[in-house]
Structures are given as structure tokens and as C-alpha cells.
């Protein structure tokens, strides 16, 4: 059970204070509490609806919060609490004692995450995000808010659900913003360390900053992606293939907007109207065995395609892992807008 003081606010709070409380916590909820008595709960959704109805930041939260939230008791088993929450489709369950006083909150994902894995996850979060300016003028791209939280937080939560606990964030541009927000990761049930790129090292070069004693395959992912890829399946596939490196790929269809003419000399043999061509493209998610890490030069600019080319040239085993799950590379303003419009439907938050 988690301590709920950080996400508790009194009933006389303003909407602005509720937003600040939700933002400081990691559970997308604030508890309205007076004298240890739970009066209700307020979420991002409640606040969005209030704004749509004309409420202002300095308005009181009275009438906005749910006064009949689902709660659990401290004498219920963990299995019963999880079942209760799943039945009602919620992820946060305030817990009351026998006298009805609030004593904590259960975050259901804590129980549904997979067993802890020894594998590290490296999230590449050092890019400049030039194509998304002015949004990234003061904010690193992985910290842009999509849905109700930064992109990087959604990625962290996705991995945590599959039992990954050990993370390295490769940082450069506006690194302090990322450090201040995530700190050491303990508030997320994770261990976060930082790879400091003094100079930009590309999509693979920063991996040379990892400790030398890594003995298990690592997963590397760009910090500006949103996806619901099954990371268990990805890792198991890599191990099954006994690969040195595995690259997630997506099918990309390109339609030529003209009739394509097939010729032989001056003679026309046929015309195909607006044909399509299918390709596999790099999805920015990789699994690398320690053997692949040995090919990365020390603190030099080195991109992931260069690493895979080196693997192929040295006759190492490089595999592809096709993904059909939701995947969005947030590189352009229209991608950012689309991700925000789809977020609530794709991610259960």
C-alpha cells in the first residue's frame, strides 16, 4: 500500500491546486480529504470536464470531485482488492480502516506487473526535437505531455508492467528537466541512472557509457515513441533466435501517385495505375546482447543503423521483429496532435 499524503488535498482547494497535486503524484488522481476522512477523488478527466463547462483555475473543487469513490478496507486480501478494482475498471483504490479513516492507496498496477527482470532498458532521451519547435524550445521532446503525462513517463510505465525495473536514460538537451522530474525512479518503483552525453553521440553511441559488466540483453528505445508493444514477446523472441541484435520493424506502404509505365526500349509493355510498394522500416526499438555492445566505439557518434551494418559485415546474427501494435513516432507537430487525440483510447491510464 502506498502513502497517500502526497496526493491528498483539502475540500477547500482550488482546481489549480488539484492539478498541481495530480502532477506531483504518479497515479493521475488526487484524494479530497478532511480530518483523515475521504470525501472523494478528483482526476484529470474531472478537471477537463470542469473546464469544458466554464470553470476557471481559481474556482473551488466543490461539486467537481467524485463523492462516492470505490474504496477498499485494510482487512481485505490483495487478491480481493485487485479483483474489486478490475471489476470496476479502475487503477487506484483508496484504503480505509475499520473506522472509515483513510490510511493509504493501492495502485493496482503494482500487483499486475510481471516478475522483475534482470535486463536493463536504455531510453534515448537526448535529442534536440528541432522539428517540434517551439514546443521543444524549453522542454526536451520526451518530456512533452501527451495525454496526461510526459511521453517518457508513459514509456517507463509500459516497461514496468512487464517487470523491467532497471533503466538508463541517455540525456543531453535540457537534461536537468528529465532529472528533476524522474530523479532516481524510486517513486515509480524503478531504478533510474543517467548516461550523460557531453556531446551528442547518436542513437547508439551513448551505449558506450553503460557499465562494462552487463551480462544480459538490453532493450533500447527512442524516447519519443509511444507504443503498446509486448516487451515480453520481444525479449523472448530475441532469446529464442539467439540473436546478437534484434530490431523492431514496421511495414510501411508507399503509393506512387501516378501510372507507372513499364517499357522495353521505346515500346510500352504495360501501365500500372498508382501502384503501392511495401517496405519494412526501423521502429526505433532494439534488443542488444552484450556481444553487440562490444562493437560500439567509445564515446563517438554512432547511429543504430551503423551498428546493425557492422553486425551484418562481421557475420553476427541480426534479426528483425515485425510489430503490428500501436506505434507512433512523435517527430512532427501533426504526430504530436494525433498522439494526443488517440492517447486515452490506446493507453489505459
DSSP codes, 126-192: ----GGGTTTTSSS-GGGSEETTEEHHHHHHHHHHHTTEEEEEEEE-TTHHHHHHHHTTSGGGT-EE
Angle CA(276)–CA(279)–CA(283) in degrees, nearest 5? Answer: 135
Judge if 120 and 176 occupy the same domain. yes
> 224 and 324: one domain?
yes
| Residue 105 shares a structural domain with residue 136 | no
pLDDT, tens digit (0-9, with 9 covering 90-100), for 55-87: 899 999 998 899 999 899 988 887 788 778 877
Q: What is the CATH number of the domain that holds 88?
A: 3.10.580.10
The residue-averaged pLDDT of 302-331 equals 90
Based on the domain organization, do 188 and 259 belong to the same domain?
yes
- Of 111, 141, 170, which residue is a domain's last? 111
Residues 55 and 169 both lie in one domain: no
Same domain, 154 and 94: no
The whole-number average pLDDT for the span 273-300 is 90
Task: Please report, for the domain that includes residue 155, its CATH number.
Answer: 3.90.550.10
Is 183 a residue of the active site? no
223 and 313 in a single domain? The answer is yes
Active-site entry in 198, 274, 313, 317: 274
Q: Can you give the pTM of this predicted structure?
A: 0.69
Structure confidence by residue, pLDDT tens digits, 223-232: 999 998 889 8
* C-alpha dihedral, 328 to 332 to 337 to 342, nearest 10°: -10
Sequence-ordered list of residues with C-beta below 8 angstroms from that of 229, at least 6 positions apart, any chain:
248, 285, 323, 325, 327
Domain end: 58, 92, 111, which one?
111
Instruction: Specify whether 232 is located in the same domain as 268.
Output: yes
Residue 97 and residue 121 in one domain: no
Query: Do 188 and 47 share a structural domain?
Result: no
67 — phi, psi (to 5°)? -85, 0
Give the chain's domain count.
2
% of the chain at pLDDT higher than 70: 96
Q: Which of 111, 142, 161 is the last residue of a domain?
A: 111
| Residue from 111, 121, 129 nearest 173 by CA | 129
Identify the pLDDT of residue 138: 81
For residue 41, with 0-12 CB atoms within 10 Å meaning exposed, 13-18 middle and 19 or more buried, which class applies? Answer: buried
Distances (CA, A) of 293 to 156, 245, 300: 22, 9, 13
**Three-class SS of residue 225?**
strand
Q: Quick one: 56 and 203 in the same domain?
A: no
Query: Bridge-partner residues for 120, per DSSP?
Result: 166
Same domain, 33 and 175: no
The alpha carbon of 178 is separated from its chain's Cα centroid by a whole number of angstroms, namely 14
Domain that holds residue 66: 5-111
Amino acid at each position: 500500500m502506498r502513502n497517500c499524503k502526497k496526493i491528498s488535498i483539502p475540500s477547500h482547494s482550488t482546481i489549480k491546486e488539484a492539478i498541481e497535486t495530480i502532477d506531483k503524484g504518479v497515479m493521475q488522481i488526487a484524494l479530497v480529504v478532511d480530518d483523515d476522512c475521504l470525501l472523494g477523488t478528483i482526476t484529470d478527466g474531472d478537471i477537463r470536464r470542469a473546464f469544458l463547462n466554464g470553470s476557471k483555475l481559481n474556482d473551488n473543487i466543490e461539486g467537481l470531485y467524485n463523492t462516492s469513490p470505490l474504496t477498499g478496507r485494510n482487512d481485505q486480501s490483495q487478491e480481493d482488492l485487485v479483483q474489486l478494482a478490475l471489476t470496476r475498471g479502475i487503477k487506484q483504490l483508496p484504503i480505509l480502516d475499520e473506522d472509515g479513516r483513510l490510511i493509504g492507496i493501492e495502485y493496482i498496477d503494482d500487483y499486475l506487473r510481471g516478475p522483475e527482470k534482470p535486463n536493463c532498458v536504455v531510453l534515448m532521451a537526448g535529442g534536440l526535437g528541432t522539428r517540434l519547435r517551439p514546443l521543444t524550445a524549453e522542454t526536451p521532446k520526451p518530456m512533452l505531455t501527451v495525454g496526461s503525462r510526459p511521453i517518457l513517463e508513459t514509456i517507463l510505465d509500459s516497461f514496468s508492467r512487464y517487470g523491467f525495473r532497471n533503466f538508463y536514460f541517455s540525456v543531453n538537451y535540457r537534461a536537468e528537466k528529465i532529472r528533476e522530474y524522474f530523479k532516481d525512479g524510486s517513486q515509480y518503483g524503478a531504478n533510474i541512472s543517467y548516461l550523460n552525453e557531453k556531446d551528442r553521440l547518436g542513437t547508439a553511441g551513448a551505449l558506450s557509457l553503460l557499465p562494462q559488466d552487463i551480462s544480459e540483453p538490453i532493450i533500447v528505445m527512442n524516447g519519443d515513441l509511444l507504443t503498446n508493444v509486448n516487451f515480453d514477446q520481444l525479449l523472448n523472441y530475441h532469446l529464442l533466435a539467439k540473436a546478437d541484435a534484434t530490431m523492431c520493424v514496421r511495414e510501411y506502404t508507399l503509393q506512387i501517385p501516378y501510372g507507372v509505365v513499364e517499357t522495353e526500349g521505346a515500346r510500352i509493355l504495360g501501365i500500372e495505375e498508382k501502384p503501392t510498394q511495401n517496405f519494412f522500416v526501423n521502429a526505433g526499438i532494439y534488443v542488444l546482447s552484450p556481444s553487440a555492445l562490444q562493437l560500439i566505439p567509445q564515446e563517438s557518434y554512432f547511429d543504430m543503423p551503423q551498428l546493425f551494418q557492422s553486425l551484418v559485415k562481421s557475420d553476427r546474427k541480426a534479426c528483425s521483429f515485425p510489430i503490428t501494435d500501436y506505434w507512433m513516432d512523435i517527430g512532427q507537430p501533426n504526430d504530436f496532435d494525433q498522439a494526443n487525440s488517440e492517447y486515452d483510447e490506446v493507453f489505459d491510464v
